[in-house]
Amino acid sequence: MDEEITVNRRTYIRFRPQTPVYVELSLWQVQERELKSRAQRVLLRDVGHGGCSFATNLRLPVRDDVEWMIELQLGQYTARPRIVLLHSGEEDGLFFYGGEWRMMGWEHQAFRFRFDEYVRQMLIASPHIHTLYKKVASRHDDGQFKHLDVTS
């Protein structure tokens, strides 16, 4: 049997929400010229330190000179990172887009802190995170954690 192997080239892990999460998307700037637009709701597919992907019925340009702003709630904190779309596709009548955050160093640091805090709070309530922790702690080798060393 030929199995298709998918290679994850992302630098950062992406988290997929367990329940639908809608965020606000608006145009921020085109070719370094501010052109703010009215926000539209889009469905968040996944999110991480490096970027996110979302689904919408809007057809958007995938260009590196167009920046968008996404407003999302991380617990009590409202984040408004800017994103540049890198790829797109179509699935089930919706367009989906993926991109990377465009932030200054201090913005990225603040976003990472708030994002990590939010993920920690969400994962505490997740039963499978406890199973994962037990596997790592006992060094149980089920083929998924080969050569994993948490002591270094």
Could you tell me the sign of the dihedral formed by the alpha carbons of 31, 32, 34, 39, in that order? positive
pLDDT-based confidence at 139, cuts 50/70/90?
Answer: low
Instruction: Give CATH superfamily name and number for 14-138.
Output: predicted glycosyltransferase like domains (2.40.10.220)
Q: What tens digit of pLDDT does each residue of 34-45 get?
A: 887 899 999 999
Q: Residue 143: exposed, middle, or buried by beta-carbon count in 10 A (0-12, 13-18, 19+)?
A: exposed
Distance CA 7, CA 23 (A): 28
What is the pTM assigned to this prediction?
0.73
Of 119, 22, 24, the residue nearest 70 (C-alpha):
24
Average of per-residue pLDDT across 98-111: 93
Q: What are phi and psi of 95, to 5 degrees?
A: -95, 140
Please report, as a single letter, which amino acid is at residue 87. Answer: H
Q: What tens digit of pLDDT does each residue of 70-96 get?
A: 999 988 899 999 999 999 999 889 999
Distance CA 10, CA 145 (A): 19
Residue of 19 and 6 predicted with greater confidence: 19
Residue of 131 and 50 predicted with greater confidence: 50
Q: What are phi and psi of 91, to 5 degrees?
A: -155, 130
